[in-house]
Structure 1
């Protein structure tokens, strides 16, 4: 949901911007569409989508497709760095890849950096200055302690909700968390279900870059499933998990930028009786073209109380 009484959004399908006024009860959802081979589908139009609210089809009031050759929408990104002993030594590689990622996306984007072990520290509040981001990664080199993964994601969601700009360069800002971790949590006070709920409420997409662990079995080497895998946080916020097998972060950050370039933004007005009923409402997005899979940033939202 958006908070202003009236909000001007830029509507641009394939690069043709126009300004329209949208009421404050608009609900947005980011979606990515893939074919059977896992390739991004970027040629869809508004008419190709169906959006349902609690199972009932709703008119799509707002539609935007990213231009594949450039990221036309600014982002607010929180880099959440696991600085526990198992992950911290790769900070230099992460820093270099993150700087390349920044160069790939909209110049109006802003970034923040937090680090977490048994403490959560904000190394850099939102800025568009890549030098400050690089220095923040430098401050994350001190490692050790246990992991508060879920608490760190909750802090990142709070940063995005409280401090990130809602609009930059005349465009609405998409909210993203990129967490680099071993995927385990030992001391958090918040549950994974609450993290999902808060991310969905704030329309935040979470991408994870996991430094995997392996065990040997009779069938060979097998990756150890993590708590982050089991939690469903990444999947239920529309993100993806990437495995940093060779500790090479560059291809992963490029893949995240490519996925964001291939996304669509849809929005609708809920039925009047549901706009302030204080209840959770399910959002389902499908495409009419057969054989395609949709990944959406939120499965629903909690309406404010009347």
Structure 2
């Protein structure tokens, strides 16, 4: 009977997690995902052809040399943080390593997004569980009708698909409500890589955003073994066609909290996005509105680099707007491979 008493809770967890997660992946897969991405970008540029601009107008920030064209996601806001609409190619100036480039294409800011939500349901966020579910519901509710949304979770040591990309808000909200109160370890960086790989990686011709709701406390910060180190994930982000928006729940951890936030800020900055921080459910409400406005202020800007010698080096990118008072946010550069 003692054995049965010990094994029953384990079986209950297995049954519950399999019932609400459509797909379960091990965080150990993340290293292979990242290495495959980086090795693909290491291919010699001569092995690829230049594609016409019409085929690449939405390739987003996938700075791969096979197309010999750079695509940027550019967020444009005014001084109050409101989206600026109606900008055309002539309103932008683009510089690569200090050399001005000629914008070839600017896409409308009203194009739909694929919005993936990653909920960190590990042990470190147990006290924030209701707040995280509320955040997921609010983000689903404020998304535009043309946007598709997916809900993923890091829970019970695994990456889990709660709901794949879908535009059915009722179905998505119902899926969020089925999430049980589980916990476990925190392979957060690995889960971020898997969240990109799950569906967004197959959609490089679409606009993609990944919202990570977490306290940022990956196992590695405590010196524990981890499937994917932060430095490797950060190295791969410039090759991922996705904007990463961490909604950072301040854990107030005196040992690792500051570093956790810096790392989340680094991922956001490398993708061309920004971090949204909150200490409570009340502080999250402005974050929802800020994110919704952010996604409405994004342009896709494409140009053919004047330097066609793709030698694998880092190229710094700067975008300026000729309209006074407009503030731009864009990733800082790319590896020319």
Structure 1 counterpart SS, 2:227 = coil
From 306, 317, 333, give the equivalent of 1:283.
317
Q: Which residue of 2 aligns with 1:242?
A: 276
Alpha-carbon distance in structure 2 between the residues aligned to 1:142 and 1:215: 22
SS of the counterpart of 1:214?
Answer: coil
Task: Say whether residues 1:56 and 2:95 are aligned partners.
Answer: no
Q: How many residues get paired?
A: 274
Q: How much has 1:32 moved relative to structure 2?
A: 1.9
How far apart, CA to CA, are the structure 2 residues paired with 1:3 and 1:184? 42
Residue matched to 2:329: 295
1:115-126 alignment, distance < 5 Å: 115-117=153-155, 118-126=157-165
Distance in 2, matches of 1:160 and 1:26, equals: 24
Map of 1:1-306 to 2, 5 A cutoff? 5-6=51-52, 8=54, 24-35=67-78, 38-42=81-85, 44-66=87-109, 72-117=110-155, 118-163=157-202, 165-166=203-204, 173-187=206-220, 188-214=226-252, 224-230=257-263, 232-248=266-282, 249-271=284-306, 273-274=308-309, 276-289=310-323, 293-296=327-330, 298-304=331-337
Report the Cα distance in structure 2 between the residues aligned to 1:210 and 1:3, rounded to whole angstroms. 41
TM-score (norm 1): 0.75
Partner-residue secondary structure (3-state), 2:161:
strand
Q: What secondary structure sits across from 1:144 in the alignment?
A: coil
Cα distance between partner residues in 1 of 2:188 and 2:194: 10
Note if contact 2:136-2:176 (Cα within 8 Å) is conserved in structure 1: no
Tell me, in whole angstroms, the C-alpha distance in 2 between the residues paired with 1:205 and 1:48.
22
Contact 1:36 1:291 in 2 (8 A): yes
User: Which structure's CA Rg is the greater one?
Assistant: 2
| Structure (1/2) with the larger helix percentage | 2
Shift of 1:260: 1.0
CA distance in 2, matches of 1:126, 1:293: 31
Tell me, yes or no, if the aligned pair for 1:200 and 1:299 is still in contact at 8 Å: no
- Which ranges in structure 2 are unaligned for 5 or more consecutive residues? 1-40, 42-47, 58-65, 221-225
Q: Give the SS at the match of 1:189.
A: coil
Q: CA deviation at 1:254?
A: 2.3
Structure 1: distance between partners of 2:323 and 2:241: 26
Bigger strand share:
1
**CA distance in 2 between partners of 1:30 and 1:74 (Å):** 13
Offset of 1:135 from its aligned partner? 4.0
TM-score, normalisation: structure 2: 0.69
Check whether the contact 1:83–1:144 (CA below 8 A) recurs between aligned residues.
yes
Tell me the CA shift for residue 43 of structure 1: 5.5
